[in-house]
């Protein structure tokens, strides 16, 4: 109940008022092709977060709480993760999904969390707070640049592709493929599914 409460508070704080306001821009979005966020705030969410460090902190904490809640179901559904020796999470936010996987397997594998510099700054505090600095390394990346080569046997993209236009998502996938191919690594993509009958 506490976790649920925390998630609601964090998500409400990070995208609460905004998600209500941007939903009113749906019709404009359909005509312009811009995101609802851009229609309302004249900038995309990530640029908006940069305007106030508190917004960035709340957003990152909201993502981390959501991941903490859905991680057990994903771990149960993906036993392959337990066979890995080095898991790399691209766009892993604070690193809470990596933490959930590694702690589930008693830290028998290591993890590297990759994200934008502001998020990695927050991830440093998270990883230190969880006392897992020796198990989780942190690396800056930007999906728009070349991705670094690491010796990971598993790459994760969790709740990433949904945020990009199809052509950008394909570009990210081809970049991840080119780094993953060299080590014959696997890529695990985790996204929300929309069911037609809902």
Question: How far apart, in whole angstroms, are the C-alpha atoms of residue 10 and residue 25?
Answer: 23
Tell me how far, at minimum, the Cβ of 40 lies from ligand SAM, in Å: 19
Is residue 38 at the binding interface for ligand SAM, with CB under 6 A as the rule? no
Site for ligand SAM in 96-115 (CB under 6 A): 97, 115
Is residue 132 at the binding interface for ligand SAM, with CB under 6 A as the rule? no
Residue 150 in tokens? 């690491």
DSSP 90-150: ET-TTSHHHHHHHHHTTT-SEEEEEE-HHHHHHHHHHHHHTT-TTTEEEEE--TTSPPPP-
Selected from 160, 176, 179, 180, the binder of ligand SAM by CB under 6 A is 160
Please say which residue, 63 or 127, places its beta carbon nearer to ligand SAM.
63
Under 8 Å between Cβ of 111 and 135:
yes
Under 8 Å between Cβ of 52 and 63:
no
Is residue 138 at the binding interface for ligand SAM, with CB under 6 A as the rule? no
Is residue 91 at the binding interface for ligand SAM, with CB under 6 A as the rule? yes
CA 142 from chain centre, in angstroms, equals 13
Selected from 18, 39, 57, 159, the binder of ligand SAM by CB under 6 A is 159
Q: Which parts of this chain interact with ligand SAM (CB under 6 A)? A: 46, 63, 67, 91-93, 97, 115-116, 119, 141-144, 158-160, 163
């Amino acid at each position: 109940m506490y976790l649920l409460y925390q998630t609601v508070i964090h998500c409400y704080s990070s995208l609460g008022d905004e998600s209500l306001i941007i939903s009113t821009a749906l019709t404009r979005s359909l005509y312009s092709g811009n995101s609802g966020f851009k229609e309302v705030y004249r900038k995309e969410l990530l640029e908006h977060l940069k305007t106030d460090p508190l917004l960035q902190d709340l957003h990152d904490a909201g993502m981390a709480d959501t991941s903490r809640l859905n991680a057990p179901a994903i771990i149960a559904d993906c036993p392959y993760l337990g066979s890995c020796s080095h898991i790399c999470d691209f766009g892993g936010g604070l690193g809470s999904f990596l933490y959930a996987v590694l702690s589930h397997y008693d830290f028998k594998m290591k993890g590297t969390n990759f994200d934008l510099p502001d998020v990695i700054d927050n991830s440093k505090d998270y990883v230190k707070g969880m006392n897992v600095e020796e198990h989780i390394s942190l690396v800056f990346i930007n999906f728009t640049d070349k991705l670094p080569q690491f010796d990971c046997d598993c790459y994760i993209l969790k709740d990433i592709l949904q945020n990009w236009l199809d052509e950008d998502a394909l570009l990210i996938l081809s970049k991840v493929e080119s780094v993953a191919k060299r080590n014959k690594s696997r890529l695990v993509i985790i996204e929300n599914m929309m069911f037609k009958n809902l």
